Structure 1
Amino acid sequence: MTTPRPPTRVIGKNSEAAMDRLVNTVRPYAWGSTTAIPDLLGTAPTGEPQAEMWMGAHPGAPSRLARGRLDEVIAADPVGELGAATVAKFGPHLPFLFKILAAGAPLSLQVHPDLARAREGYAAEERAGIPVDAPHRNYRDTNHKPELICALTPFEGLCGFRSAPATADLLAGLGVDSLKPYADLLRARPEEAALREVLTAILTADPDSIAATVTEATAAADRLGGPYAPYALLAHHFPGDPGVLAAMLLNHVRLQPGEALYLGAGVPHAYIGGLGVEIMATSDNVLRCGLTPKHVDVPELLRVVHFAAGDPGILRPEASGDGEEVYEIPIDEFRLSRCLLAPGATPLDLTAPGPQILLCTAGRVTAGELTLGPGESVFVPSDENTQVSAVCTDSATLFRAAVAI
């Protein structure tokens, strides 16, 4: 990590606001790529996985700036840093966490609760006296965790349930006798009921029996390739894991750079590989379906999952007319936009009444008086009277994470 530079004072129309360069922590989760984040940052790989670079005030790895840790800076003056409207709506905390995510191997198959269930689940586990850091705890806070992933490179993942007839055809095509009852059920029952029954059967089956089915299905997927290749890859990372079969119920998605997925409450998903920027509401609430050695609470999972099949809904940014492209999503905790900057263009006005994090992913961008290269970011406190603009001397890409207020 580099040493934080002194804060730059960006002079606005009527006031001043500190725009601070962020020093961010890279999390070394085992599934991380060893090269993607170093390549973006222009640093030498360490040989260890580098999975996520966190930008924000999450207490697990808060960004640092010259004024101190971002979570502590915000706690010292919530209204000054976040703005009165943000504090009134979300409390005295930055309501989003921004990341660069580099998946070199598949992540766990998971789902997140809605706000009501997060609050109920957290209260129930508190009453039961389950420690917040216990491995079998589901709810570590009272918040929901909607998230958005936007591809920087070709990105592969799983998102939401495929239609029941299409999944029945996929399973039948493997030619594995022990999968036939699932395929038959998907054809015979109403779709949502069928998806629930099949997922329940997979996750509650005898471990030895389901492991044998996964092994047989893996061999068939390896032999057939094509649409089965992603599930064969999952099986090689998680041999015998029932999550491999659960994953076969989901849409396989390939994102091109600039395309995104929004993952709302109850939508099962997993990332398979690629580099992207991710933004989410600040929460650690995850219910896992498989592809992991961690705790899988099947009854609670089934309360949270939405068994609705459909298109995963790839998002493409909507041009706003001023060079900023916005990813339209149905929540307020965060707003993500992409700015494709050209040399000589009119400076892009990024003034906002709420807090922002600006991240450069290509080229070099001057924001206020700070110049950012790939992988560098700044925190912009709330101040609707301060002019914040971005320009570049060559083509550049800037992502803007803000609060939708």
Structure 2
Amino acid sequence: MYSWKTTKDILSRVRWFNLAILTVTPSIWIYGTRTTPLRTETLLWSMAYYVFTMIGITAGYHRLWSHRSYNASRFLQYLLIVMGASAVQGSVYWWARGHRSHHRYTDTPLDPYNAKRGFLYSHIGWMLIKPAVKPGHADISDLQNNDVVQWQHRHYFALIAVVGYLLPTVVAGLGWGDWWGGWFYAGMMRITLAHHSTFCINSVAHHLGESPFDDRKSARDHFFSALLTMGEGYHNFHHQFPMDYRNARKWYQYDPTKWFIASCAAVGLASHLRVFPENEISKSELTMELKRLKCEQDRIRWPPKLEELPIVSWETFQWQAETRRLVIVSGFIHDVSDFVDKHPGGERLLLKKVGKDATAAFCGGVYDHGNAAHNLLSMMRVGILLGGVEHVNTVAPGERLRIVERMSE
């Protein structure tokens, strides 16, 4: 049973301002859908202003100020910081501090939006309830010394009033006489969608997709997540290489934020676009591919180990070959009893070699057998001939590139 003290403690941890923004804003939008038809002009304006808003978050708040993945001219800094303010997600100073903490302490109790606490918590819960554990420390000295960031932080509420609520309404009102449509759709609908699109970076991008670079953290890569987040959905790449200005490194992957930054660089508004060395990216990819192949390798049956096979004299081999169909290839004794009637060349060729050394015939004397035949034959090993002369490598082709997990010393 909850006591009043427990209830009071829970209520004291509620972020009431955030709760109001995240509930009142969509409620006004929903009310607007019941009272004000959505005009085509307003829809197009809402979509355009949504892109304006999200680029402010992804290219500005995230890649510029949280990760310093490129340098921006003073004009571009002011533009991005105003664009980001229209999303009504807090100042850059607050936003970037939390995001740096998230990267430094990913999936731990010190992560402010820890995905290990569940999808709902990482999506929106962390915004509504103060954490029991204070988020981990992150260096924000550069943000403290950035006069553009500090200017926005000081005037944040005035900025969101203008670019978050007033501007989208005024444009629709003066432009085509749709004041209420501008308020409900370009204002409240856009802000709500921008909120949850950004939140998807913390939730969907940590639960949906693959881990092509490192699977020890929850961040995932997925095209659907990229669609939701203006290109931020290649999140496994981003968590491995956070200083890279790209989230999607391939030209065909959807990352409009990357294209925006590259375009700014082309016209001189951005510079020093940071790209992680391709050689090191390939190492991470190869590591995960080898790990995947190791799992596949471990599911396959392989020949018995040499130390598990008995060493048999020539006399014993010939004696046993009288009752079993045994042949020798490369010093190994093979029981081909179950394969005789399946031999592609006919069973007579195989029966002629029972009780004999068939190395020369198998390794090119009759037919130069391929990898599949060598692999299959190795599964029939039942012993090692004492003093047998091996003419080919004792390792079957399937094992020559075998992945071995090296234990740390």
Normalising TM by the smaller chain, what interval? under 0.3
Question: TM-score normalised to the size of structure 1?
Answer: 0.20
More helix by share: 2
Q: Which structure dedicates a bigger proportion of its chain to strand?
A: 1
Question: Rg larger in 1 or in 2?
Answer: 2
TM-score (norm. length: structure 2): 0.20
